[in-house]
Amino acid sequence: MSIESRLRQADRIVIKIGSSTLTHSTSKLDLGRIESLIRQIVDLKNQGKEVILVTSGAISAGRGKLDLTEVANTIPEKQALAAVGQGLLMKIYEKIFSEYGSTLAQILLTKGDITERKRYLNSRNTLFKLLDYGIIPVINENDTVAVDEIKFGDNDTLSALVASLVDADLLVILSDVEGIYTSDPREDETAQLISKIDRITSELEKIAGGAGTDRGTGGMATKIEAAKIATRAGVMMMIANGSQEYILQEIVKGVNPGTVFLPDEQKLASRKKWIAFNLAVQGKLIVDAGAAEALLNQGTSLLPCGVIEVRGGFEAGDVVDVLNKDGEEICRGIVNYSSQEVEAIQGLQSTEIIDNLGYKDYDEVIHRDNLVCLETD
């Protein structure tokens, strides 16, 4: 199916709007642009599309409300600004959405809402029910209480996780640039926009720079990471310039104004998406060439005999990365034994586990049902 057809046929769409799109350089909210984007979102809903909005801007809006010129650097500063800005942002959203006859629902997420399986499923069911009611969910990270989300997280990643969570057809990330370029267009006049990306390579990751403007936490590097999650989950992702007039309406008509990341044809099942993207990795297992080949090409479980090294400390039930001998991540999964137990049985046959541990809970270090293989270059 062509990109144009995929865009036109996308029925469930997650739209992420970055801080630099929502605010002026003064950090004051850009009300004209917000109104234009909300009008387009409501128009998509009126066309029969299901739309979820992931919004940034709480910290930046709080900074603008308090007329602060310096960028907040500490966690307490960012949390305080988010507490001020979130209410302001939602007040504006509520007013404009209601003027166009639509109802929104505010959802503030933390990592626990997607790392814990029960809360993950509850979040998924809540979002589906809101969409059934014709309500537009407006999602942001709970920046006022979640330290890790501010310090390490970004809403590009959050939007990809949400797109994966709800089995979206399309994720649109609106930024202050058109998409991915062959080099930094701010420094290289010959830089060319890459309109389509079939596969994310290490070379592409090198092209992506660091953070974006001082009004946001994400740059192109975070968008590449978001694309990894979305495409592996079977979601097509687009980066486009949020300041372009009628940008959302053009996209659903089949126009590609930015960079499109094509999804994997074989998308992951819900449980494997949860394992691959939503759980914190606690350690690493290095496997030999035979085990790597069997995992990637034969869909086998990881047995003790294939493990040659254990890195980090973890407990049974934790998530670990599986690396080949070259240090490339090839799989991720939920481990059946602790790091100490795996060290004791690595390189052994499953029949030898009980002789070394005194017990045997499982034949496998990671069962294939709890294992997700990832593509490598």
Q: Measured between alpha carbons, how far is 175 from 98 in angstroms, rounded to an integer?
A: 25
Whether the Cβ atoms of residue 61 and residue 20 lie closer than 8 Å to each other: no
Query: For residue 63, what are its two tokens?
Result: 């900074």
32 a known binding residue? no
218 a known binding residue? yes
222 a known binding residue? yes
16 a known binding residue? yes
56 a known binding residue? yes
Q: Measured between alpha carbons, how far is 293 from 343 in angstroms, rounded to an integer?
A: 22
125 a known binding residue? no
223 a known binding residue? yes
214 a known binding residue? no
Which residue blocks in 66-196 are alpha helix, DSSP H? 75-99, 112-115, 117-132, 147-151, 155-165
The residue whose two tokens read 């590097």 is 221
Listed residue (286, 287, 268) closest to 278, CA to CA = 268
Torsion of CA 113, 135, 36, 3, to 10 degrees: 70
Q: Measured between alpha carbons, how far is 47 from 9 in angstroms, rounded to an integer?
A: 12
Amino acid 6 reads R
156 a known binding residue? no
Listed residue (163, 165, 209) closest to 16, CA to CA = 163
Residue 338's alpha-carbon distances to 19, 26, 186, 375, in angstroms, are 42, 51, 48, 26
Q: What is the largest CA-CA distance in the chain?
A: 71
175 a known binding residue? yes
Listed residue (10, 18, 6, 23) closest to 51, CA to CA = 10
Which residues 6+ apart lie within 8 Å of 64 measured at CB?
A: 23, 24, 26, 27, 28, 29, 85
Query: How wide is the angle at C-alpha 201 spanned by C-alphas 200 and 206, nearest 5°?
Result: 110
Listed residue (90, 162, 169, 159) closest to 126, CA to CA = 162
Q: What three-state secondary structure class fits 193? A: strand
Whether the Cβ atoms of residue 234 and residue 272 lie closer than 8 Å to each other: no
Residue ranges at the known binding site for ATP: 16, 175-176, 217-223
Binding residues: 16, 56, 143, 155, 175-176, 217-223
User: Annotated binding site for substrate, which residues?
Assistant: 56, 143, 155
